[in-house]
Chains A and B, each alone.
Chain A
Amino acid sequence: MLTLKDVYVFYGHVQALKGISLEVQEGELVALLGANGAGKSTTLMTISGILRPRSGSIIYKEHDLTKTSPEDIVQLGIIQCPEGRRVFGGLTVLENLWMGAAARKDKAAIQKDLEWVFSLFPILRQRARQTAGTLSGGEQQMLAIGRALMARPQLLMLDEPSLGLAPLIVESIFNVIRELHSQGVTILLVEQNARKALQVADRAYVLETGQIKLSDNADKLRTNPEVQRLYLGGPSS
């Protein structure tokens, strides 16, 4: 469905991605793991068309994403729920959700997807008329995911959805990710919380300083000694 081949990205002279190749198949939940600054968010921003690779190819269903504008990429069915949530704080919850559907024109279906999002996150229905800035961190994360879902994505990219949230909230966010996966949404998940990510993912890539260090099935990575030592905090998992 999505294939990155030998992607190089620079910030000025600084190499951020040094020849990344990865693949996401339809229906899969793929995790992208790695420490701070490994290039995880850069990878997602490049897929979204915000950053442009210096070389390499990004192909999504026969479309060359390196030559596609960010809004057209959303229209093709790829949406990113960015790190730090970035909800529109001065807009109401409902307005935020509509913005997720900004690239769509099928009004009736948008209304139906709104009900779907409300069924996934019932709290958002209660808060619909509130401005997003007044929500708690966990609620904002739910709104950010809900907003992305309003695009009815075929590929949902989540950047650090558990960052800075209380353990109980993290649990419920991951339950939703599992639920979405079981509903057939293809997901590319960026996480620092490798333990949690490997519990829900089918496959995972481990990024290190702009390069893919490891890639395997999630089960195998969970028992990989190096992954245990570096990302899971010890060999007992």
Chain B
Amino acid sequence: MTGFTNLIQQLINAFSIGSLYALMAIGLAMVFGILRLINFAHGDLIMVGSYTALLVQVAGMPFWVAALAGITASALAGLIMERVAYRPIRGAPEVSMLLTSFAVTIFLENTAILIFSPISRAFPAPSILTAALKYGTLRISSLDLIAIGVAIILLILLTLFVTRTKVGISMRAASEDLLAARLMGINVNKVIASAFLIGSMLAGVVGMLWSARVGKVDPLMGFYPVLKAFVATVIGGMGNLPGAVLGAYVLGFLEILLQGLLPATLTPFRDAFVFLALIILLLFRPNGILGPTAREKI
């Protein structure tokens, strides 16, 4: 029986962490799909949103107001990032865009260090988020359930968006063939801005859940999530939205699985084993699980 409850507990854990990775990975995949840009600064949007939420809470506002403010701040930061940093170099070689994203990251993180100091601060989360639900020996944190629920709702909304709305379909078209999209009169600026807006809002949501989970914020907090999201998109197939989500959950399960299976002396090196699994996967599927194998038809 304890083996069974343990399994349930670990499954929920894996689903919850996978959900956070998925919401992050979507933002990366959307932008990469259209621009071939790996936006490493995507992680810093988490930081921007979380600090904003922290400040609003310190100012005495309730958590839900702070969360909305945080998500809005992430969204705005994403839009500004696109307009100021990425639009001027659109069409530049991929390496230039990648380096620009590092520049944006360094700028944002150091700005945060200047304003808030490098020391982490406690992130107060309401009791509804930190509560633990008990069923016999099973203990489930409500935060895990909320993360899973929020991810499911957002994924459904996102699916509707990319299949039912004109901007959403345009986004898929632009990520398949940007030139053809331009020739059809699709407003590429609008589509790209929408991709950044949606990805940044999702990053903002992740920021709230992530900060509540770890209970603190710091200027470099975005590094770990964006790295994981990047790995997820590689697993699933770069620029492929269903692939990014699938890759995120695969990654989440892999991490929890290794955490459980590895002997205690090796658990500190869990991520090394995760990357080993990634290398093996890429040997067999270089374009990821859902990446293209052979497409062009003559």
Contacts and interface: CB of A to CB of B under 8 A. Distances in A.
Contact of A98 (B169, B179, B297): B169
Interface in B164-194: 166, 169-170, 172-173, 176-177, 179-188
Contact of A50 (B169, B170, B172, B182): B182
Contacts of B177: 86, 88
* Size class of the contact patch on chain B: 20 to 34
A188 to B, nearest CB: 14
Q: Chain B contact residues: over half helix, strand or loop, or mixed?
A: helix
B295 interface: yes
B80 to A, nearest CB: 23
A73 B166 CA distance: 20
Contacts of A73: 185
Given A71-B182, A88-B180, A137-B297, A102 B188 contact: no
Contact of B176 (A75, A82, A88, A135): A88
A71 B179 contact: no
Given A50-B179, A70-B182, A99 B295 contact: no
B298 interface: yes
A140 B173 CA distance: 15
Interface string A68-89: 0011011100011010001111
A221 B187 CA distance: 40
A86 B178 CA distance: 10
A222 interface: no
Given A79-B185, A102-B185, A86 B170 contact: no
Given A82-B179, A164-B298, A99 B173 contact: yes
* Size class of the contact patch on chain A: 20 to 34
B297 A133 contact: yes
A102 B182 contact: no
B179 A86 contact: yes
Contact of A151 (B173, B185, B298): B185
26 contacts: A50-B179, A50-B182, A70-B182, A71-B187, A74-B185, A75-B185, A80-B183, A86-B177, A86-B179, A86-B180, A86-B183, A89-B295, A89-B297, A90-B172, A91-B169, A95-B169, A99-B170, A99-B181, A102-B181, A103-B184, A103-B187, A135-B297, A136-B297, A137-B298, A140-B297, A151-B185
Interface of B: 166, 169-170, 172-173, 176-177, 179-188, 295, 297-298
The 8 closest A-B pairs by CB, nearest first: A74-B185, A103-B185, A86-B180, A102-B186, A88-B173, A70-B182, A88-B176, A71-B185
